[in-house]
C-alpha cells in the first residue's frame, strides 16, 4: 500500500511541513478549551506519530496551555504569524502530534473519525451525518480499526518507557 504524503503550512507561508501516512485518528473536538484556544466552533486534529511530520521550512515556538486531561498541552505555532500547526498532549508527550487539519493544503483529504464534546458545541452547529458523535470523550477501541489501535498502543508504550 502506498502511504499518502500530505503537505501544509500556516497562513503567512513561513511554515511548511510534510505529513507521511494516514493519521491514527482524526478528532473534531467541540470542547470549551478547543473553542477558547482557536476562537472558533471547534478544532479538527489529525493525531499521528510526530516522526511522520517533517518541518520543511519556517520556525515554530512552543506555547504551553492547560490540556483537557489536566496535563500540559504544548501548541507549536509559526513564530511569524502565530498560527497553531500541531500540538503535543500530556499522554503521548512529544512522540504524538495533533496536527491542525485546517493547515493542510488539502484539508478535505482527511475526515474526522469522531465528533467529540458535543455537549459544549455551539447550538447552531449541525452534526455531520455518518460520523460518530459523542457528548464527551469516546472509547477508541469501539471506533478505530485494529491497525490504528496498534499504532496508538505502540506510541503509548514508547511514551511509558520514556
Ligand atoms: Zn477539545
Ligand atoms: Zn506563519
pLDDT of residue 45: 98
pLDDT of residue 87: 96
99 alpha-carbon distance from chain centroid: 4
Nearest ligand to the CA of 33 is: 1
The whole domain housing 134 covers 5-161
pLDDT of residue 68: 76
pLDDT of residue 78: 98
pLDDT of residue 67: 81
Nearest Cα to Cα of residue 44 among 25, 26, 32, 69 = 26
Nearest ligand to the CA of 9 is: 2
**CA dist list (Å): 150 to 49, 53, 92:** 12, 19, 14
* Distance from residue 37's CA to the centre of ligand 1 (Å): 9
pLDDT of residue 141: 93
The tally of domains found in the chain comes to: 1
Nearest ligand to the CA of 31 is: 1
CATH code at position 32: 3.90.1590.10
Please identify every stretch of the chain with a pLDDT value under 50, giving residue numbers as ranges.
Answer: none
As a whole number of angstroms, the distance between CA 72 and CA 94 comes to 11
Amino acid at each position: 500500500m502506498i502511504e499518502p504524503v500530505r503537505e501544509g503550512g500556516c497562513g503567512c507561508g513561513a511554515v511548511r511541513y510534510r505529513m507521511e501516512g494516514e493519521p491514527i485518528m482524526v478528532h473534531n473536538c467541540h470542547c470549551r478549551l478547543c473553542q477558547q484556544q482557536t476562537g472558533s466552533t471547534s478544532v479538527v486534529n489529525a493525531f499521528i506519530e510526530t516522526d511522520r511530520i517533517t518541518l520543511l521550512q519556517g520556525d515554530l515556538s512552543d506555547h504551553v496551555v492547560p490540556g483537557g486531561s489536566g496535563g500540559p498541552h504544548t501548541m507549536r505555532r509559526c513564530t511569524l504569524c502565530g498560527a497553531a500547526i500541531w500540538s503535543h498532549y500530556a499522554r503521548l508527550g512529544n512522540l504524538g502530534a495533533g496536527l491542525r487539519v485546517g493547515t493542510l493544503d488539502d484539508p478535505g483529504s482527511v475526515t474526522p473519525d469522531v465528533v467529540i464534546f458535543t455537549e459544549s458545541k455551539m447550538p447552531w452547529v449541525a452534526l455531520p451525518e455518518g460520523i460518530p458523535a459523542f457528548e464527551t470523550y469516546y472509547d477508541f477501541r469501539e471506533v478505530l480499526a485494529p491497525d490504528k489501535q496498534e499504532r496508538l498502543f505502540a506510541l503509548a508504550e514508547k511514551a511509558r518507557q520514556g
